[in-house]
Amino acid sequence: MNAPSSPRLILAPIRGITDSLFRNAYIRYFNGFDLAVAPFVTTMQSKRRKQPADLAPEKNKNLAVVPQILSKNPARFRELAATLATMGYKEVNWNLGCPYPMVANKKRGSGLLPFPDRIKRFLAEIRGIELKLSIKTRLGYHQADEIIELIDIFNDYPLTELIIHPRTGKQMYKGGVDLEMYERCLKLSCHPVIYNGDIITREDFFRLRERFSKVAGWMIGRGALADPFLPARIKNLPLPGDEMKQLRLFHDEMFNAYREILFGPSHILGRMKGLWFYLSRSFSDSKKLLKKIQKCKTIKQYTIIMEQVWR
Ligand SMILES: Cc1cc2nc3c(=O)[nH]c(=O)nc-3n(C[C@H](O)[C@H](O)[C@H](O)COP(=O)(O)O)c2cc1C
C-alpha cells in the first residue's frame, strides 16, 4: 500500500489529448503520475482484428498504461482483449462512463448504466478473459443511485479496481460531483475504489483525501491538463525553478511532433487548440488568450502568438 504521503495518481483518459504522444512528452517534462488509462478504443475499430496503433508497446515504454475498451458487445470485447494480450498488456479497463449522446444513446458507456441485467450478462460472458479487468464508471445515467444495484454486480466479478466519477451521464460535466453517493459506493464496494473528478488544485486533492481515506488511488484529467505540475505538487516532488520554461519545452515538443505526423494546418492546429483549451488556465488572462489561439488559422499566426505567450 502507498504511504499517505505518496498517493497513487493515475492520468485520466481524455480522448483527443492524452494519446501516446502526449503521454511521452508529459513524462519527459513533468512527473507524479504512476499510471495512465488510455483513451478508449471501440470494438468497431477492431473489426479487422488490427492492433490499436496508439497502444503499440514501443510507443508506451515510459509510463505504465492500461488500455480502455468502449463496447456493449462481449464477443467483440473478448476479441479485442485477446489482441491487447498479444501486445503484452496484462489489464484492460471497461468504459462504463462515457456520457456523450452519440455513445450513450446506443447503450454504450454511461448509456448502459440503467440496464444492470445487460451489464451482468456482459460480465458473465467475458469472465475468464486473459486480462485482468477494471471498470471506469459514473454514478448512473439518469440518476445517481443507479450505481447501488451495479455495485452488487461489480462485487461478484474479480475486478482489480473500480474507478468512479461521481456524476451522472446526463450531467456530462455540469453541476457538482455527488460526494455523498461516492461515499456510499466506497462503503459498498469490495474492490479497491479510485476517485476521479474535479481535482483541479492541490487543495482539492487534500480535502478529498481527508474525507475519503479508504480511496485506493486518484485519477486526474482536466486538472493536470490545465496545470501539468499538479501531480508533482500533490506529491511534493521537486519543481523546476522556471515552470514557464518547462511548459514551453513540453508545448514545443508536442507542436513539433504533431507537425511531423499530421497533415495540414487544420489538423495540427486542432490538436494544439485542444491542448490550450485546458493549458490556457495556467496563464493570466486565460480567456483572452484562448480566444486568440482558437481564432488562429495558419501555422504562422499560431507561431507568432506563441512567441508572445512565452515572452
Ligand atoms: C474531452 C474529454 C475526453 C474524454 N475521454 C475519455 C475516454 O476516452 N475514456 C474515459 O473513460 N473517460 C474519458 N473522459 C473522462 C475523463 O477521463 C474523466 O473521467 C473526467 O474528465 C473527469 O475527471 P477530471 O475532472 O479529473 O477531468 C473524457 C473527458 C473529456 C473532457
* Residue of 15, 18, 35, 110 with the most ligand 1 atoms within 8 Å of its CB, for mutation: 15
**Segment 13-31 mean pLDDT:** 97
CA 117 to ligand 1 centroid distance, Å: 25
Phi and psi at residue 63, to the nearest 5°:
-140, 130
pLDDT tier, 3 (very low <50, low <70, confident <90, very high otherwise): very low
- Please give the angle made by the CA atoms of 174, 188 and 100, to the nearest 5 degrees: 25
- Output the 3-class SS for 105-116: CCCCHHHHCCCH
CA 120 to ligand 1 centroid distance, Å: 24
Three-state SS at 177:
coil
pLDDT tier, 228 (very low <50, low <70, confident <90, very high otherwise): very high
**Segment 267-273 mean pLDDT:** 97
Q: Decide whether any atom of ligand 1 lies within 6 Å of the 99 Cβ.
A: no
The residue contributing the CA closest to ligand 1 atom 6 is: 14
Tell me: the pLDDT tens digits for 118-141? Answer: 999 999 999 999 999 999 999 999
Q: Contact 181/149 with Cβ under 8 angstroms? A: no
pLDDT(15) > 70: yes
The superfamily in CATH containing domain 9-235 is Aldolase class I (3.20.20.70)
Cell of 144: 445517481
Extents of the domains making up the chain: 9-235, 243-310
Cell of 130: 486473459
Q: Contact 117/67 with Cβ under 8 angstroms? A: no
Cell of 4: 499517505
Tell me: the pLDDT tens digits for 202-227? Answer: 999 999 999 999 999 999 999 999 99
Cell of 217: 488511488
Picking from 14-18, 45-49, 50-54, 248-252, which range would have the lowest pLDDT averaged per residue?
A: 45-49
Contacts of 23 (CB under 8 A, 6+ apart): 11, 36, 60, 62, 63, 65
